[in-house]
Structure 1
Amino acid sequence: MMQNESNSSSESDIDIDIDISDFSDPTADLEEVPKGIRRQARSLENYKFPTHHLQKELIDPNKIPLVIVCCGSFSPVTYLHLRIFEMALDSIREDTNYEVVGGYYSPVSDYYNKKGLASAPHRVRMCELACERTSSWLMVDAWESLQPKYTRTALVFDHFNEEINIKREGIYNSKIEKKINVKIMLLAGGDLIESMGEPDLWDDSDLTHILGNYGCLIVERTGSDVRSFLLGHDILYQHRKNILVIKQLIYNDISSTKVRLFLRRNMSVRYLLPNSVIKYIRKHHLYVNESEPVSQVLDKRNRSYI
């Protein structure tokens, strides 16, 4: 955890919802209206898989049910993290025979060694505040964040498959009057897919498992050529039919890394992330004492936004 101990909050503080008195102003943003959001368990013993926005039945029984999962640090979650789900939704509706029945954020655990990583309870809570107050189909799953060690993405997807298709037997299809399995796909930025081509970063067996058994939705960066990259990578090319490339029609370059720098410099981050998340960051004094190298933040090659 990169946060200064003097600024960290107790566990009881993390669990408290934002006071309604904070929003007495009638002109306040609608997304800030309190909804009594309760955070997930802080231990695996009390963990429950979230299903409150997961469809129980296909609207169009001729389509294939799909759940989208985005894995990342989300430190903090930004409007781009919300926006990429909507971009994926549009592309899926336009170009595929899938019906999206739910979407999940899966924040990494504290054992993921990355600069600027706030503690897992904070990151899970910020994701909850962001999606629960702005979306009718997105959820946050805390399972990965609760693991006592870094968990490979392949195992995270096996967890989602177990919860959705094994324990709950998928989703009901009225046409055949029984439940069917749900397709689960990884939502990722072009930077993540390019990292799959880096030696020693991804195990070949994990890539084959993720792309072969699940699939990947890639949000393409402006100026990048994901299709050419797929052509040059054996495993990615082998599973290219299980990969959907999503173009950004409106370029968005918000990054958590730059947001953290803005917070360190006491600059405004309004309209870069939901107001409820901004209030949470200020309440818990997150990111203000980070020691992340500024040169890394401003490096144009640092394109990660997950």
Structure 2
Amino acid sequence: MLWSLRRACSLGRHLSSTLRQHSVLAGSHAGSSALWAIAGGTTGLGLAMTVNSVAFAEAAPQAPASGAPPPPGAWEQVQGFWSKAVSVAPSGWWRGGATAQVPLPTDKLQCHAPARGAAGPGKPPVGYRPVVLVACGSFNPPTIAHLRMMELARDAMTAQGYDVLGGYLSPVSDAYWKEGLAPAAHRVAMAQAAAASSDFVMVDAWEAAQPHYTRTLVELQRVQAELGRAFSTEERGGAGVLASSAGPAPSPRAVLVCGADVLETMADPSLWRQDLLDALLSQHGVVCVTRGGARALSLLETPGTLLHQHAGRVSIVQEPVPTDISSSLVRKELEQGRSVRYLVPDDALTHIYSHGLYGSLQQPAREGTQLHAQQHA
């Protein structure tokens, strides 16, 4: 084990030097994650999970503009070390912890299946298609635009004949390397506060609790599997999540909700592992909420891409009241001591002020009596 740790530190230093010389890799989330993981943070133990996958992992929000590969031999050395280290690294050991187990909230799920038209006792209505919506992201902090995106996605899926049982915000974990990322515990709390007023949006804290970066596909699979187990319990006569709903409750499909920026990354084969993207599109599907529908539609019309191949699994939703609200702009306003009220849900803003997040300790009194009082409590 001692040899492995020394070897990890040595390889981490070598890879760090190599990556700095190649901005295309250093600028990508996959490259940054691998470098961070191998270097091991302060412990030198984060060497297991991210280097096990081939080359570049799924979707990098801060992805390279160029698709140039890393220098020959760099990743081969990483994978070679992994093959030796795996025999001494306990399963799931990443930054000293195993996969965290967090229950999936179901309190807002609601089945809208019609009472008539069922195929028979214990069977769903003919043509009934239940789904749940899942938005993955930093939520750093959550804004009204995130909630607006979920509302538009629900309207669009309902108009297409789907029954939207509920929705989830899934904040990324602290292992998702991004400058200025607030601790996961705060981002989960802010997301929960933001979603409190919604009649269908909940927060899945599972991804945020993981000690490693979690792929979008894995989160979708987790939600779908958890709900599948919950719904099958109900069918067996147990205390299912929709026990009080009339009619049958078949297991829903988890559908990804995202913005046009994420859809654009899916069009670049260098940013997503194609086998994982193929599974995401074919097994789950995407609802893309965008201010520029023409650009998003053109991505589906490009021959030879997975988006084109699975165009029928991607719904493009045009935002009828476009805004430029973003988490990054909200953070900048907070850092400057300016008001962000009505850009962030009040309950989430209260959490920001109460904990001094994003440099928000000193706020003007015009934010409101309640917020101002909590800030200086």
- In which range does the TM-score fall when normalised by the shorter chain? 0.7 to 0.9
- Matches of 1:159 and 1:265 in 2, distance apart? 39
Aligned to 1:131: 195
SS at structure 2 position matched to 1:187: strand
Question: Structure 2 CA distance, aligned partners of 1:103 and 1:119?
Answer: 23
Question: Are residues 264 and 211 of structure 1, via their aligned partners in 2, closer, same or farther at CA, if it must alter by over 3 Å?
Answer: same
Q: Which residue of 2 aligns with 1:51?
A: 106
Aligned to 1:278: 349
Computed over aligned residues only, the root mean square deviation of the Cα atoms, in angstroms, reads 2.4
Q: Distance in 1 between matches of 2:274 and 2:220?
A: 16
Judge conservation of contact 1:171–1:182 (CA < 8 Å) in 2. no
Deviation at 1:55, TM superposition (A): 2.1
Match of 2:284 in 1: 214
Deviates more, 1:60-69 or 1:70-79: 60-69
Query: Aligned AA for 1:51?
Result: T
- Specify the alignment match of 1:107 in structure 2: 171
Which amino acid letter does the alignment assign opposite residue 228 of structure 1?
S
Aligned partners of 1:89 and 1:100 also within 8 Å: yes
SS of the residue 2:358 aligns to: coil
Structure 1 counterpart of 2:131, from 43, 63, 66: 66
Query: In the TM superposition, what are the counterparts of 1:148-227 in structure 2 within 5 Å?
Result: 148-169=211-232, 178-222=248-292, 224-227=294-297
1:70-81 equivalences under 5 Å are: 70-81=135-146
C-alpha separation in 1, matches of 2:329 and 2:142: 12
TM-score, normalised relative to structure 1:
0.74
Which residue in 1 is equivalent to 2:37?
Answer: none
Q: Between the two proteins, what is the percent identity of the paired residues?
A: 37
**Structure 1 position 113, deviation (Å):** 1.0
Q: 1:202 to 1:165 in 2, by over 3 A?
A: same
Output the CA distance in 2 between the equivalents of 1:256 and 1:112.
16
AA aligned opposite 2:182:
A
**Equivalent residue, structure 2, for 1:13:** none
Residues 138-159 of structure 1, C-alpha deviations (whole Å, 9 max, x = no match)? 1000000111100111111111
How far is the alpha carbon of 1:223 from its aligned partner? 6.5
Contact kept, 8 Å, 1:65 with 1:171, in 2: the verdict is: no
Structure 2: which amino acid aligns with 1:287?
A: Y
Question: Which has the higher Rg, Structure 1 or Structure 2?
Answer: 2
Matched positions, count: 244
Structure 2: which 5+ runs fail to align? Answer: 1-97, 116-124, 236-241, 361-377
Stretches of structure 1 lacking an aligned partner (at least 5 in a row): 1-42, 290-306
- State the alpha-carbon separation in 1 of the partners of residues 233 and 261 from structure 2: 31
Change in CA separation of 1:223 and 1:104 when aligned onto 2, cut-off 3 Å: closer
TM-score, structure 2 length as denominator? 0.61
Deviation of 1:196 after TM superposition, in Å, equals: 1.2
1:250 matched to 2:321: yes
Give, in whole Å, the separation in 1 of the partners of 2:133 and 2:101: 24
Following superposition, the deviation at residue 93 of structure 1 comes to 2.4
CA distance in 1, matches of 2:281, 2:99: 28
Q: Deviations over 1:136-190 (max 9, x none)?
A: 111000000111100111111111111011343398799x965423121000000
SS in 1 for 2:167: strand
Q: Which moved more, 1:190-199 or 1:144-153?
A: 190-199
**Cα gap change, 1:44/1:269 in structure 2, threshold over 3 Å: closer, same or farther?**
same
Structure 1 residues 224 and 262: CA distance shift in structure 2, 3 A: farther
1:74-98 per-residue CA deviation (whole Å, 9 max, x = no partner) reads 000000000011111222222x110
Deviations 1:197-250 (A, max 9, x none): 234321001100100000000012236521111112511111111111101111
Identify which of 204, 208, 230 aligns with 1:145.
208
Contact 2:134-2:257 at 8 Å conserved across structures: yes
Match of 1:297 in 2: none
Contact 1:170/1:182 (<8 A) preserved: no
- Given residue 64 of structure 1, which amino acid in structure 2 is its aligned partner? R
Relative to total residues, which structure has the larger helix share, 1 or 2?
A: 2
Q: What is the distance in 1 between the residues matched to 2:130 and 2:286?
A: 15
State the distance in 2 between where 1:88 and 1:274 align: 19
Q: Which has the higher contact order (CA 8 A, sep 6+)?
A: 1
CA contact (8 A) 1:222 1:251 kept: no
User: Once the 2 structures are TM-superposed, how far is the Cα of residue 112 of structure 1 from its aligned partner?
Assistant: 0.6
